[in-house]
Amino acid sequence: MKYYKSSADWTPAAAPNPFSADGRYGPEWICFRIDVINRANCCCGGGKNGLFTFILGADTPDFKCRLAYFLRYNQRQKRNVIISCPESIDLDTFIEQALAETPDKNHVRPTDPRWVVHSTTLAAWHDICQDGMLKSLALLREEGNQTIGLGIDKLGDPPDFANYVMLGSMEAVSPEIVVASREENQIIDDTNRPYVPGVRIYIDNHLIIRDGLTVRDGLHNTKVRQRLPLSPYMAAAITAKDFPQQMWRPRTFSKAANKLFLERRISV
């Protein structure tokens, strides 16, 4: 498994690239940074220098698995991986252990949540119901739908991310942030900003994994290539109409929708 370990004084924002002949970064380069200061950290994004960086705290429960999946996925994408970590970490040994201990992608791990979510606008939900499936950004564009890809177009995500349907954990507010951002056609990162909810779709993650549809990249909770049929994977779809009329914010709607979903599961 090929990767590049940075020096202790290198940072993802640094320039030039110490590993390329011309000192440049680009789509063929990506960075994984091990954070030993903010040990619960988890964030990612494209920098001004063109280097997409994934930062993961050292105390993340499934840290080794995520690093192994990250390396395997980016090797398949023919990207060069720079790993930024303290000198105190024996990186070669750590990665060797991670690759050896990480199970097959179709194995349900203790850290794999049973339910994952995908949030979208009401207009998009109409098309999803007609198609009977969730579609990736790339597939939608192939079909003539010029949907804006917030991650691809505005956050500097690698182009191949457009080939996947992304699914988030129930606890994450980010799926609602996507809906709020689409309303404004710009990135909205305030989880308490008023917005109009769309549809919060609940998916059986364990079934997706067992059926071999999950693509593990270490970064996303769950993602599926090109398309995901609603049947048999969708468990519920919740909208603002399921509640008394009120002003919603991404944080409050995600919390209320999760509570209602779990209550309905118990009563079934």
Quick: pLDDT tens for 111-131.
Answer: 899 999 999 999 999 999 999
Residue type, 8: A
Could you tell me if residue 108 is inside a domain?
A: no
Question: Which of 72, 253, 239, 107 lies closest to 174, judged by CA?
Answer: 253
**Quick one: 168 and 206 in the same domain?**
yes
Q: Hey, what are 62's tokens? A: 């499934």
Which residue range forms the structural domain that includes residue 226? Answer: 115-267
- pLDDT for position 40: 83
What is the per-residue pLDDT across 3-23, written as a single tens digit (0 to 9) for each?
999 987 888 887 789 999 999
Could you tell me if residue 76 is inside a domain?
A: yes
Could you tell me if residue 179 is inside a domain?
A: yes
* Angstrom distances, CA of residue 93 to CA of 57, 62, 82, 100, 200: 19, 17, 16, 11, 42
**Do the Cβ atoms of 29 and 79 come closer than 8 Å?**
yes
* pLDDT reading at 34 higher than 60: yes
Q: DSSP 3-state assignment of 156?
A: coil
**Quick one: 188 and 243 in the same domain?**
yes
User: 250-267 and 174-184 helices cross at what angle (nearest 10)?
Assistant: 130
What is the per-residue pLDDT across 75-98, written as a single tens digit (0 to 9) for each?
999 999 999 988 888 999 999 999
Which residue is associated with the tokens 């303290």?
A: 86
Task: Give the residue-averaged pLDDT of 53-69.
Answer: 91
Could you tell me if residue 58 is inside a domain?
A: yes
